[in-house]
Amino acid sequence: MRNVFKTAIIGTLALAGVGVGGLMAANAAGGSSDYKMKHMHWHFDGWRGTYDRAAMQRGYQVYREVCASCHQLKYVAFRHLGDKGGPYYDDHYPNPNDNPYVKAFAADWTVEEVDLDTGDIIERPAIPADMFPPIYPNAAAAAASNGGAVPPDLSVMVKARTGGADYVYNVLTSYDKDDNYMNKAMGIKIAMANPLSDGLVEYADTEYTDKDGKVHIIKAPEATVDQMAKDVTEFLAWAADPKMEQRKSLGLATMLYLLILTILLWFSYKAVWRNVEH
């Protein structure tokens, strides 16, 4: 009996192993040239990984000041920035619509709306409930402004490319020195010119007051291409999977519970079958 059980486990694992192996083979296809993808250690890696809040906040700044001139985040709302697990979450504002950072960031954008008196399209500052607004009125306009290529939406970009966060980071940091459009990670010339250059954005120092009322100043890192790429990738990873932290913490509780239940079931099984030859 014990042997059969062992075979069962090994067989199950082998099946799973081949399944995953097949997937990897499927995913490994593509990729090109001699460029070697750089594998990064992300703060959100692993079974207890979380998003690095400071990096996400800097990443939002990079998105706002650089990426947002062409790329939308259409499945993200401003209020999401203040959600639990988001870059600007604050215990004091469980409702992200009240979060002053979120309000200020929203107001920094304009959205279109129909004036109910005249029927005209008017612009107003965004509120936390609004989604990130479109950059171009339509796909044709987006293509026309970008040499025929529509800049893709970034909401789920980190999930939409094999390699995930590593891929996004590598694309942003692998432009050819002599050719602004030659992307080495993708192995082709792309429509997006190298968007980052050292010192492109100005990271501000942040300060926070600790429990004793002491004010600490956290020095901002230097805004190198590498740093900005890392930060914006951290932000986009959150945008693509905003519930990751919740999922992982519930996952831990669930796995522990299931483990205990399974052990109890094992003992119940042993007790029921105690005098039965099989």
Partner 1 sequence: MSDHTDNSHEHIDEDKRDFIYIATGAAAAVGAGALAWPLVMQMGKAADTLAAGSIEIDLSKISEGQQLKMLWRGKPVFVRHRTPAEISEAESVDIAQLKDPQTDDERLMPTPDGKLDPKYLVMVGVCTHFGCVPVGEQGKVDAQGEYGGWYCPCHGSHYDTSGRIRKGPAPTNLEIPAYTYISDTVIKVG
Partner 2 sequence: MSGHPSTYEPKYAPTKWLDKRLPIIRMGADFMTYPSPRNLNYWWTFGGILTLCLMTQIITGIILAMHYVPHVDLAFESVQRIKRDVPFGWLIQPMHAVGASMFFFAVYIHMFRGLYYGSYKAPREMVWLFGCVIYLIMMATGFLGYTLPWGQMSFWGATVITGFFGAVPVVGESLQQWLLGGFAVDNPTLNRFFALHYLLPFVIAALVGLHVWAMHHAGQNNPIGIEPKSKKDTLAFHPFYTVKDAFAVGVFLLVFAFFVFYQPDALGHADNYIEADPMKTPEHIVPEWYFLPFYAILRAVPDKLMGILLMVAAIAVLFILPWLDTSKVRSMRFRPVTRRWFILFVIACFILGWCGAGNPDDIAIPFGEDKGITFLLLARVATAFYFAFFLLILPIMGMIEKPKERPESITKAVLGGAE
Interface residues with partner 2 (CB under 8 A)?
1, 3-5, 8, 11-12, 15-16, 18-23, 25-27, 29-30, 47, 74-76, 80, 152, 155-156, 159-162, 164, 240, 242-243, 246-248, 250-252, 254-255, 258-259, 261-262, 265-266, 268-269, 272-273, 276-278
Q: Which entry of partner 2, partner 1, none binds 129, CB below 5 to 8 A by partner kind?
A: partner 1
CB distance 180 to 225 below 8 Å = no
CA distance 130 to 24: 39
For the chain, percent helix, then strand, then coil, each to nearest 5? 45, 10, 45
Residue 29 C-beta-side C-alpha neighbours within 13 Å: 5
CA distance 237 to 242: 8
Q: Which entry of partner 1, partner 2, none binds 242, CB below 5 to 8 A by partner kind?
A: partner 2
CA distance 203 to 210: 22
Q: Which entry of partner 2, partner 1, none binds 16, CB below 5 to 8 A by partner kind?
A: partner 2
CA distances in angstroms from 41 to 52, 165, 208, listed in the order given: 12, 10, 27
| 230 contacts partner 1 (rule: CB under 8 A) | no
Q: Choose which of 83, 231, 234, 245 interacts with partner 1 (CB under 8 A).
A: 83
**CB of residue 159 to partner 1, shortest distance in Å:** 20
Q: What is residue 188's three-state secondary structure?
A: strand
Q: Which entry of partner 1, partner 2, none binds 274, CB below 5 to 8 A by partner kind?
A: partner 1
Q: How many binding residues for partner 1 (CB under 8 A)? A: 19
CA distance 229 to 112: 31
| 118 contacts partner 1 (rule: CB under 8 A) | no
Q: Which entry of partner 2, partner 1, none binds 117, CB below 5 to 8 A by partner kind?
A: partner 1
Q: Which entry of partner 2, partner 1, none binds 97, CB below 5 to 8 A by partner kind?
A: partner 1
**CB of residue 132 to partner 2, shortest distance in Å:** 12
CB distance 41 to 117 below 8 Å = no
Q: Quickly list H helices, 138-243.
A: 139-145, 157-160, 164-173, 225-240
Binding site for partner 1 (CB under 8 A): 77, 79, 83, 97, 116-117, 128-129, 257-258, 260-261, 264-265, 267-268, 271, 274-275
